[in-house]
């Protein structure tokens, strides 16, 4: 549950930051679809954690399998979204990809940080 609370906090911090950047710079820096990207990453990060947590509860010895499966799922889904945008819409491709990967790295870093914080007590045993 703490993971979802921290995910909500991260999202609440990013919303005004992105809104400010969008208003201050106009369409030059922040893509118009940034809110869809943010919602996508919140969903994908929450779903990846859910899959990993479900796997750990059923078989804690194979944590790596569940975690890397969730990361692979996230990576494939992100690549599919990028290709779909580039080939279907195709406007402001570089801006979309840069905004997308900034959010990708933020949410991936958040997930790794949360994972390390949860595993730290287990490593001392």
41-92: pLDDT as tens digits: 999 999 998 988 888 888 878 888 888 898 999 999 999 999 999 999 988 8
Report yes or no: 110 and 45 within 8 Å, Cβ to Cβ: yes
CA distance to 6, 50, 111, 121, per residue, from 117 (Å): 12, 17, 10, 8
pLDDT for 62 equals 82
Q: What pLDDT, on the 0 to 100 scale, is given for residue 115?
A: 79
Residues 74, 104: Cα–Cα separation, whole Å: 10
- Total of domains in the chain: 1
DSSP designation for 30: S
Q: What is the pTM of this model?
A: 0.87
Residue 94 Cα distances to 2, 41, 45, 65, angstroms? 35, 19, 23, 34
The range of the structural domain enclosing residue 31 comes to 2-123
Kindly indicate the confidence band of residue 121, based on its pLDDT and cuts at 50, 70 and 90.
Answer: low
């Amino acid at each position: 549950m703490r993971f979802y609370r921290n995910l909500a906090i991260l999202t609440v911090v990013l919303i005004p930051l992105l809104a400010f950047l969008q208003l201050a710079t106009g369409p030059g820096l922040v893509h118009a679809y940034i809110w869809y990207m943010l919602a996508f990453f919140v969903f994908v990060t929450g779903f990846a954690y859910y899959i990993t947590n479900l796997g750990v509860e059923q078989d804690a010895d194979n944590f790596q399998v569940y975690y890397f499966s969730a990361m692979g799922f996230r990576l494939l889904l992100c690549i599919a979204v990028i290709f779909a945008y580039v080939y279907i819409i195709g406007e402001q491709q570089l801006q979309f990809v840069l905004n997308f990967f900034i959010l990708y790295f933020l949410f991936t870093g958040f997930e790794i940080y949360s994972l390390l914080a949860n595993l730290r007590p287990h490593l001392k045993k």
